[in-house]
Amino acid sequence: MNLAKARGALLTFSGALGVALVLIALIMLSLDKAPLAAGRRFLDGVFGTPSARADVVMAALPMLLCAAGLLLTFTAGLWNIGVEGQVTMGAIFATIIARTIPRDVSEWGILAALILPAELLLAMLGGALWAGLTALLKLRGGINEIFGGVALNFISVNILLSLVNGPWRVGTFPQTAPFASAALLPRHPELRLSPLAIAIALIAFGAVFMALRGTRFGLALRAIGRNAKSAGILGVRVERHILWAMIACGALAGLAGAFQVLFTRGRLLPNISGGIGFMGVLIVLLVGVRAAWVLPVALFVATVPVGSLKLATSLDSSVQIDAALGNVFQGALVLAVLIGGGIRARLAARRKERAEHG
């Protein structure tokens, strides 16, 4: 991509950011809050301390995983809205092992080292299963992946609720007991940070990036996304590729679900995904399927829930807001970016025309 284009994209993004910020400021003013002070508190809450920065990074990881998977499906022209359910299934599948791990595993020896890989693999399997189901509904049943995905999201939420209300419930709240530390992703001694999780997410993202760039699989997905009929005539096995793109995305989403239970929450509870699948969709929409931008945008998007949580728990009532305002901000931002992109495309067309006339 050339420099001018990158600059244009950046400009659109900052413009959209400005619009979304102004909107949020107006809402806060109407609620008698102090937007500037809140803004300062927000920035402090996400960048101010090492622990704040660690929170942002860790919040970004599951989103990054979902976004990476969605890059594959969006490239193939698939709207994998079912990603949310795939995250949930990943969390559930990881819990199958995690909840059985005892506090003390010192006698397990080498087996103890297998706990985490087994959890992560099972989580990927769970997500992949759910995504594969969506793909089969599409390919064999003719059900659009959006509808199939929405239905499976609904089912996965209900499976989750019935588990944490039923057999897996421990105590008064509908949730499992906290998992033993041997079942969790290893933590940095001082910060709320898991270097292993960071490494896994980056490797997964790198793999997707490379797959899209340099492999036959990635090229085939691109061809399918643009014209599935022609891709078939060129010898691409369209159905198989659609199935694999969905399964890969589901596996990555399942991994994100595992991160939620094995690090962020440390147990399985309702709404375990917390919307990170949809955040993944937003990220991919924001970057317009340009893989390289996913990394910074995921970090940026992750500041919003982290920062708004800090505001929500603040004791100062002039900045204390509901965390839902963060979601409003995110929605407004995505809308503004999409509109900005549209305006930019139109301006570019007009400019080009004028240049050609002149």
Partner 1 sequence: MHVELHHITKTFGGLRANDALSLSFAEGRIYALLGENGAGKSTLMKILSGYQPPDSGQILIDGRAVTFETPADALRCGIGMLHQDPLDVPNLTVLDNFMLGRREGLLPKRKAARAALEQHAARLGFHLDPFRYVDSLTIGERQQLEIVRLLSLGARLLILDEPTTGISAEQKQTLFSSLKRLAAQEGMTIILVSHKLEDVAALCEEVYVLRGGKLVGHRHMPTSIDELVTLMFGQSLPPPARRQSALGEEILRAEAVSLTARRLTVRDLWLSVRRGEVIGLAGLDGSGQSDFLRACAGLQPLNGGRILIGGIPIRGKGYAELLRMGVAYAPSGRLEEGLVDGLTLTEHFALARAGGAWINWRAMTALAAEQIGRYNIRGMPHSPVQTLSGGNQQRALIALLPENLRLLLLEDPTRGLDVESTAWVWQQLLARRDQGAAILFTSPDLDEIVTYSDRVLVFCDGRATLVSDLAASTRNPAEQLGELIGGKVYEPR
Provide the binding-site residues for partner 1, judged by CB under 8 A.
214-217, 219-220, 222-223, 226-227, 229-237, 353, 356-357
> In whole angstroms, what is the distance from residue 164 CA to residue 92 CA?
10
DSSP 180: P
Q: Which is nearer to partner 1, 16 or 212 (CB)?
A: 212
Residues 6+ apart with CB under 8 A from 84: 153, 156, 273, 275, 277, 278
Q: How far is the CB of 239 from partner 1 (least distance, A)?
A: 8
The first and second tokens of residue 122, run together, are 């099972």
Q: How far is the CB of 264 from partner 1 (least distance, A)?
A: 34
Q: Which is nearer to partner 1, 199 or 348 (CB)?
A: 348
Q: How far from 156 is each of 119, 245, 256, 304, CA to CA, in Å?
A: 18, 20, 15, 26
Q: Which is nearer to partner 1, 215 or 313 (CB)?
A: 215
Q: How far is the CB of 297 from partner 1 (least distance, A)?
A: 23
Q: How far is the CB of 228 from partner 1 (least distance, A)?
A: 9
Q: How far from 104 is each of 112, 181, 346, CA to CA, in Å?
A: 10, 9, 63
Q: Which is nearer to partner 1, 227 or 271 (CB)?
A: 227
* 3-state SS assignment for residue 355: helix
Using an 8 Å Cβ cutoff, are 95 and 268 in contact?
yes
Q: How far is the CB of 223 from partner 1 (least distance, A)?
A: 5
Residues 6+ apart with CB under 8 A from 63: 256, 276, 279, 280, 283, 298, 301, 302
Q: Which is nearer to partner 1, 115 or 236 (CB)?
A: 236
> In whole angstroms, what is the distance from residue 75 CA to residue 77 CA?
5
Q: Which is nearer to partner 1, 103 or 237 (CB)?
A: 237
DSSP 185: P
Using an 8 Å Cβ cutoff, are 350 and 49 in contact?
no
Q: Which is nearer to partner 1, 228 or 328 (CB)?
A: 228
Q: How far is the CB of 143 from partner 1 (least distance, A)?
A: 19
Q: How far is the CB of 139 from partner 1 (least distance, A)?
A: 12
Q: How far from 213 is each of 93, 282, 291, 326, CA to CA, in Å?
A: 31, 22, 9, 34
